[in-house]
Chain A
Amino acid sequence: MTTTVRIVRISAFRTARILALMWAMSGLVIAFFAQIPGWLRDGMGWMFVLYPLGYALFGFLSTLLAAWAYNLIAPRLGGVEWTVRTPGEQDWPGRKLIRVAHVSKLPAARVMGLFYLLMAVPIAVLSGVADGLRAEPVEWGMLALLGLGSAAFGFVLAFLGAWLYNGLAPRIGAIEFAVEPIRVSGS
């Protein structure tokens, strides 16, 4: 049995708080691997502290704004709808505030890897068409690399994101959203 549910409301502050921390950590990783050699060369080592803070601030404000805007839009337009299956459950327990306690890492990574790969296809096709129009040889090797690189990026990003989320959520509070069941379908 599946239930179609509507995301009625998102907890703006809780969502912004946890995503800010996730942004900060990704900022830290980017700073460490990509930026720090240049900063050390230019005598700007202090940027190593500022960079993740900037990421955190951006992540917090943009998420807060997006969640606030979603909560304004959803009651007027109807929110995003998901069809969900809850193994072992009879049906969805009515209109509820739901806390995302844990995200499965491997399913998320698998989906996002394939998602990034398929999203890269239109870009690769457009790029190939553009090369053809400019009468330049189409670089199929580069386009294939773009697709595979996107897939690997999506996989790693989702896996690490889910791992990070599962570690942070019990400590600083998980994302919460209000969900309303709108339709129940048979198996």
Chain B
Amino acid sequence: MNVHIVRVSVLQSAKVMAVLYFAMSIPLVLLIAIPAFLGKQAGTGLFMLVLMPVVYMVVGFLFSLLGAWIYNLIAAHIGGFDFVAAPVGDEQGGQA
């Protein structure tokens, strides 16, 4: 089955990507937290570590919003992504 992606949902994609960026920043923050606390910069470090996931979320939202909007603009004029999809099975729990 040939699938042509005509449009992506701008706000919905940005919303999902913002939460995804937030979630992805948590392990990163934890990795940075260890040397930050060992280096006795806990005050500044803690503030930056709390701020980082929020910044990731905002940046993820804005870039996904812009990206999806630009994709829709391009797809409407020159066509979007094409791929061949092979259905490999039914999924549980949704409409059939």
Question: Chain A contacts of B8 at CB under 8 A?
Answer: 80-83
Scoring A65, A82, A94, A176 by chain B CB atoms within 10 A of each residue's CB, the highest score goes to: A82
A119 to B23, CA, bound (A): 24
The answer to whether the Cβ of B84 comes within 8 Å of any Cβ in the partner chain is yes
Given contacts A80-B16, A82-B8, A87-B2, contact A119 B89 (CB under 8 A): no
**Segment 35-89 of B: residues with Cβ below 8 Å from A:** 66-67, 70-71, 73-75, 78-89
Contact B19 A80 (CB under 8 A): no
Q: A70-B16, A81-B12, A88-B2 in contact; A93/B24 too (CB < 8 A)?
A: no
Tell me if B16 and A73 are in contact (CB < 8 A). Answer: yes
Bound: A73/B62 CA distance, A: 18
CB distance from A7 to the nearest CB of B (A): 9
- B-side interface size class: 35 or more
Interface residues in A59-89 (C-beta closer than 8 Å to B)? 62, 65-66, 69-70, 72-74, 77-89
The answer to whether A29 has its CB under 8 Å from any CB of chain B is no
Complex Cα distance, B16 from A89, in Å, reads 29
B71 to chain A, nearest CB (A): 6
Are B89's CB and A97's CB within 8 A?
A: yes
Which of A70, A84, A111, A178 sits near B3, CB closer than 8 Å? A84
| Contacting residue for B70 out of A88, A89, A104, A119, CB 8 A | A119
How far does the alpha carbon of A114 sit from the alpha carbon of B76 in the complex, in Å? 13
Chain A interface, DSSP helix/strand/loop, else mixed = mixed
In the bound complex, how far is the Cα of B87 from the Cα of A181, in angstroms? 13
A77 touches B4 (CB 8 A): no
Known interface pairs A118-B73, A180-B91; A69-B23 also in contact (CB < 8 Å): yes
CB of B75 within 8 A of CB of A9, answer: no
Residues of chain A with a CB closer than 8 A to B89's CB: 96-97
Cβ B71 vs Cβ A84 within 8 A? no
B binding-site residues for A, Cβ under 8 Å: 1-9, 12-13, 15-17, 19-20, 23-24, 27, 66-67, 70-71, 73-75, 78-91, 93-96
Chain A contacts to B: CB under 8 angstroms? 2, 4, 8-9, 62, 65-66, 69-70, 72-74, 77-89, 93-104, 107-108, 110-111, 114-115, 118-119, 122, 176, 178, 180-181
Q: Other CB < 8 Å A-B pairs besides A77-B16, A86-B2, 4 of them?
A: A2-B6, A95-B90, A97-B88, A118-B70
30 pairs, CB–CB < 8 Å, chain A vs chain B = A69-B24, A70-B16, A72-B23, A77-B15, A79-B16, A80-B8, A80-B13, A80-B16, A82-B8, A82-B9, A84-B5, A85-B4, A85-B6, A88-B2, A93-B1, A93-B87, A95-B95, A100-B84, A101-B83, A101-B84, A101-B85, A101-B86, A102-B84, A103-B84, A104-B81, A108-B81, A110-B79, A111-B80, A114-B74, A119-B66
